[in-house]
Amino acid sequence: MMKAGLDALYTRNDPTAASIQFRGVLAQDPEHYGATYQLGVALDRAGRHAEARAHWERMLVLAKAANDERTIATVVARLERVDVVSDQAIMQRGLDALYRAGDARAAAAEFTKVLARNPEHYGATYQLATALDRLGQSAEARPLWEKVLAMAEGYHDNVTADTARARLMRRH
């Protein structure tokens, strides 16, 4: 099944057929190193990134257990790729950095990633403004607060609009 899966994936460029083969291997041996890795590749190539993520996370555990530094690096890079990580996952990393770890710089970097993909993301705009304020970068935060206010008014979100107005009343 591994050989058939590899052929489907790399020779015939049929990630769906390949994923069927790799799932068959994993049904027989749930710890199969190669099938776990190749199923992640196949699902990514099929555009099924959310489903692939679980297999990449499992692969990371397997690679760490095997002390396979090269595969660990590959899997970590894959798990961090912005094109396959959802806005929600990036937002959560930013929120965790800002509110759990108190790391406004790391949080700002995550919210900036979301805004690069979706410049009108309401939550990322608000949270980036907050992070920049915490970093003492009021001048950079101000245009974001203005944008938050406009967005909040458009969404009839009075609580957020009031927060943005209060922030904009401050000179710094």
Task: Give yes or no on whether 2-80 and 87-169 have one common fold.
Answer: yes
Cα(142)–Cα(140) distance, integer angstroms? 6
Q: What is the pLDDT of residue 69?
A: 96
pLDDT in tens, 114-165: 898 889 999 999 999 999 999 999 999 999 999 999 999 999 999 999 999 9
2-8 average pLDDT score:
96
**Count of residues making up the chain:** 172
Please say whether the beta carbons of 125 and 115 come within 8 A. Answer: yes
Find out whether 147 and 119 touch, Cβ atoms under 8 Å.
no
Question: What DSSP line would sit under 9-58, residue for residue?
Answer: IIIS--HHHHHHHHHHHHHH-TT-HHHHHHHHHHHHHTT-HHHHHHHHHH
Domain ranges of the chain: 2-80, 87-169
Choices 3.10.310.40, 1.10.10.1590, 1.25.40.10, 3.30.1490.190: CATH for 87-169: 1.25.40.10
> Which pLDDT belongs to residue 79?
87
Under the banding of pLDDT at 50, 70 and 90, the label for residue 2 is very high
Q: What are the C-alpha distances in Å from 50 to residues 88, 137, 144?
A: 12, 35, 30
- pLDDT tens readout for residues 49-98: 888 989 999 999 999 999 999 999 999 998 887 566 677 888 999 999 99
Query: Cα separation of 18 and 46, whole Å?
Result: 10
Residue 83's pLDDT is 64
CA atoms within 13 A on the CB side of 163: 14
pLDDT at 1 over 90: yes
Predicted pLDDT at 81: 78
pLDDT on residue 143: 97
Fold for the domain defined by 2-80: 1.25.40
pLDDT at 171: 74
Residue with the two structure tokens 């990514």? 44
